[in-house]
Amino acid sequence: MITFENVSKRYLTKHALSDVNVTIPEGKIIGLVGSNGSGKSTFMKMIAGLVGPSEGKVMIDQEPVSRRTANKVAYLSELDAYYSFFSVKETIDFFASQFQDFDVEKANDIVDFMEVDSSQKVKHLSKGNRGRLKIALTLAREVPVILMDEPLSGLDPMVRDSIVKGLLSFIDLEKQTVIITTHEVTEIEPLLETVIAIRNGKVLALEDVETIRERDRMRIVDWLKKMYQEEA
Amino acid sequence: MMNWSGLLRKEFRVTRTLLLGVLTFDLLVMIGFFLASERWEFPYLTAIIGGVLTAIHVFFLPLYLLISLNTEGRNLHLWLHNPQSGARLLGAKFLNGLLAILISIGLVSSLSLLAYNIETSALELPIDNVWLFGFYFLAVIVTGSIYMGIWLIFYWTFYQVLKTYIGKWALLLVLVLVAFISWLGSWFSGTRLSEVLVEWGYVQLPSPLNMEVSQQEFGLTVSTFPFPVGNVVFDIITLVVIFLIACWLLDRKVEV
Amino acid sequence: MGEEFNPSKPIYLQLVDRISWEIIKGERKTGEKLPSVREMAIQSGVNPNTVSRTYNELERMEIVETKRGQGTFVTEQKEKLVELREQLKINHIQNFIEEMKQMGFSSEDMIEGIRTYVTNEKENQS
């Protein structure tokens, strides 16, 4: 279970997060939604232990998060995530050597499933295939927490579709919690069970998506707009 | 151990092209000057150039590490999202750098030695002297390079910490820190404390320079020079401490 | 990507409707095995937990049965399916009447309207 206790993150000129208190439920696919610069990426990096809080505590299973929490968390950055001199296969082997929980067979399955040629050098892959490789590297890990920062951004519909299908095929919600940030909320809305709305570094709400549909009769995007208006 | 060897192999790949480039450069320079020395009839030219090239290697490790670290700096999340300790992440780079400098310096030294044996001259230096001198020379260059390399790791990591908070001003601040620490170092070396800490454990080492070079009786009067082991111990402790600080910063303070 | 869902109704209920509909239309036969939760999730692009909830709901309605270790099957009890069909009929009529009332038609208008519509359709066919 992931908990944020009074977490703030300050940089020289701006507050990335202010006084965040949230407990993230386990075994769900959770969407982290908010406008650009609302603190989504910082939130994700904090769970991965790649950014530390200025105040408060971020914990996974009651243990404070640090960089080495990487053994419990698979973090997919919105940026590129591989060494360009490696081939796809070498990249998979390298990840397998670094993470004990990495399932090489699964990684190869995912890469095959998404039709990426594993003998190719990573730097020669198309943008879509690099996106797919990132997903394969993340989903091949048998970790309790999977973080995906903008896994669909900048990819064409075919690639997005194969990524969503890959996600559904290879996660195990009995053992894993997935947190996704995305601009294409509507596209993955049926995938999400819970959403966390974030604005200006503050968590506005954590809500079940089915509840939003039933009670507010809204899409997540509209619900988010409503939350933003209420806050403003 | 799979993760450690995986890390080492990755580090090797990060700088493989760089190493091949350096080795090619070494070869071209040495061969070029070897051919030139034949033509110009300049005795020992190749060996002298080899010596210069070796001397330049004092900058090898810091530059190598800078390039390797900056490769990671462009994609910090990729490097740091890893359950291995900072000591391993940095250690793998250091060991690869050490291997690279030894390969490159080994190549240059062997070629120098080879050229020295091929090229003839009226002046024959006693071969034992050459070996001893070469050994000291290499030791000074390699340890000097290690010394600077570890300081570079420290400053680079410190820069990464600062960058998160003050952006482009970080470099300036690090340069100020470098100047301050250099000043601190030279001030310290003049103090009594430094004498106590550094200047102890003198041993006599054979000197390659004080030997009398004469045709009749070379190698018979090997003189020695005093060398403080304390200095080495002090430097090793300093390097270990700053390396550990760098590891701690990497584990706790560097953010992506 | 998965099909479109109505944003104002829980997806698990929309899936319940869709599967019920497929059973009534005969697209899913009695005793037929439904896709596993994961397969269904992939096919429809829906969260696996939502699919589980759908299956639970269908099971509660006694339209499907879960056999331990084998999967989920459409029930072989015909009367349950007849009941379901009746239920869907009533639901549709309810919706129809609700909307007609909102447009201001009386019950007589509706019955009259249906009778005329059906007669016209028969004449057109012959």
How big is the A-C interface in CB pairs under 8 Å? 59
Give the confidence band of B5 by pLDDT, cuts at 50, 70, 90.
very high
CA-to-CA separations, C104 to C92, C94, C97, C99, C110, in angstroms, rounded: 18, 15, 10, 9, 10
pLDDT for B124 beyond 90: no
- Give pLDDT tens digits for B58-99: 999 999 999 999 999 999 999 999 999 999 999 999 999 999
End-to-end CA distance of chain C: 43
Instruction: Identify the pLDDT of residue B220.
Output: 47
Q: How many domains does chain A have?
A: 1
Instruction: Output the pTM of the full model.
Output: 0.89
Annotate B82-109 with DSSP letters as a single string.
SSS-HHHHHHHHHHHHHHHHHHHHHHHH
pLDDT mean over C64-92: 91
Residues near C94 by Cβ (< 8 Å), separated by ≥ 6? Answer: none
> What is the rounded radius of gyration, in angstroms, for the C-alpha atoms of chain B?
22
A81 neighbourhood in chain B, CB within 8 Å: 75, 77-78
Q: Give the 3-state secondary structure percentages of chain A, helix then strand then coil, rounded to 5.
A: 40, 25, 35
- Give pLDDT tens digits for A153-185: 889 998 998 899 999 999 999 999 999 999 888
CB-closest option in B13, B75, B83 to A71: B83
Give the confidence band of B225 by pLDDT, cuts at 50, 70, 90.
confident
CA angle A178, A180, A186 (to 5 degrees): 125
pLDDT mean over C65-76: 91
In chain A, what percentage of residues exceed pLDDT 70?
100
pLDDT for B144 beyond 90: yes
Q: Which long-range contacts (CB under 8 A, 24 or more apart) does B77-81 make?
A: B77/A45, B77/A50, B77/A75, B77/A77, B77/A79, B77/A81, B77/B256, B78/A77, B78/A80, B78/A81, B78/A82, B78/A83, B80/A50, B80/A67, B80/B250, B80/B254, B80/B256, B81/A48, B81/A50, B81/A67, B81/A70, B81/A75, B81/A77
**C-alpha span between A61 and A33 (Å, rounded):** 24
CB-closest option in B77, B86, B255 to A52: B255
pLDDT for A136 beyond 80: yes
The CATH number given to whatever domain includes residue A205 is: 3.40.50.300
B80 neighbourhood in chain A, CB within 8 Å: 50, 67
Buried b (16+ CB within 10 A) or exposed e, B207-231: bbeebeeeeeebeeeeeeeeeeebb
- Phi, psi torsion values for B223, nearest 5 degrees: -95, 175
Helix residue spans in chain B (DSSP H):
2-14, 16-40, 45-56, 60-73, 76-80, 86-118, 127-166, 169-189, 192-198, 229-252
**C-alpha span between B124 and B232 (Å, rounded):** 34
Instruction: Identify the pLDDT of residue A217.
Output: 92
- Give pLDDT tens digits for A87-110: 999 999 999 999 999 999 999 999
Query: Token digits for B98?
Result: 């050490």
The answer, yes or no, to whether A and B have at least 3 beta-carbon pairs within 8 Å is yes
pLDDT mean over B189-194: 90
* Interchain pair C8, A213: CB under 8 A: yes
Instruction: Identify the pLDDT of residue B129.
Output: 75
Q: Specify the DSSP class assigned to residue A184.
A: -
- Give pLDDT tens digits for C13-49: 999 999 999 999 989 999 999 999 999 999 999 999 9
Segments making up each domain of chain C, as ranges: 11-76, 79-125
A189 neighbourhood in chain C, CB within 8 Å: 5, 7
Residues near B6 by Cβ (< 8 Å), separated by ≥ 6? Answer: A93, A94, A96, A97, A98
CA-to-CA separations, A81 to A148, A177, A218, B31, B211, in angstroms, rounded: 12, 21, 35, 42, 59
pLDDT mean over B6-24: 96
CB-closest option in A11, A12, A50 to B77: A50
A11 neighbourhood in chain B, CB within 8 Å: 164-165
C54 neighbourhood in chain A, CB within 8 Å: none
Instruction: Identify the pLDDT of residue B120.
Output: 63
* Interchain pair A210, C44: CB under 8 A: no
> What is the rounded radius of gyration, in angstroms, for the C-alpha atoms of chain A?
18
Q: Which of C91, C39, C27, C35 is nearest to C61 (CA)?
A: C91
Instruction: Identify the pLDDT of residue B96.
Output: 97
**C-alpha span between A33 and B153 (Å, rounded):** 38
A210 neighbourhood in chain C, CB within 8 Å: 10-12, 50
The parent domain of residue A126 ranges over: 2-231
CB-closest option in A50, A70, A80 to B255: A50
Contact A77, B78 (CB under 8 A): yes
Give the confidence band of C124 by pLDDT, cuts at 50, 70, 90.
confident
C11-76: CATH topology is Arc Repressor Mutant, subunit A (1.10.10)
**C-alpha span between C58 and C41 (Å, rounded):** 16
Is A13 in the B-facing interface, judged by CB distances under 8 Å?
no
* Interchain pair A218, C8: CB under 8 A: yes
Q: Residue C89: left if φ>0, alpha if ψ -120 to 50, beta else—which one?
A: alpha
Which chains are adjacent to chain B, needing at least 3 Cβ pairs under 8 Å?
A: A
pLDDT mean over A110-124: 92
Instruction: Identify the pLDDT of residue B221.
Output: 54
Q: Specify the DSSP class assigned to residue C2.
A: P
- For chain A positions 112-141, those within 8 Å of chain C (CB to CB) are none
pLDDT for A128 beyond 50: yes
CA angle B203, B209, B215 (to 5 degrees): 130
Instruction: Identify the pLDDT of residue C1.
Output: 44
A79-93, B155-169, B216-230: range with lowest mean pLDDT: B216-230
- Phi, psi torsion values for A135, nearest 5 degrees: -65, -45
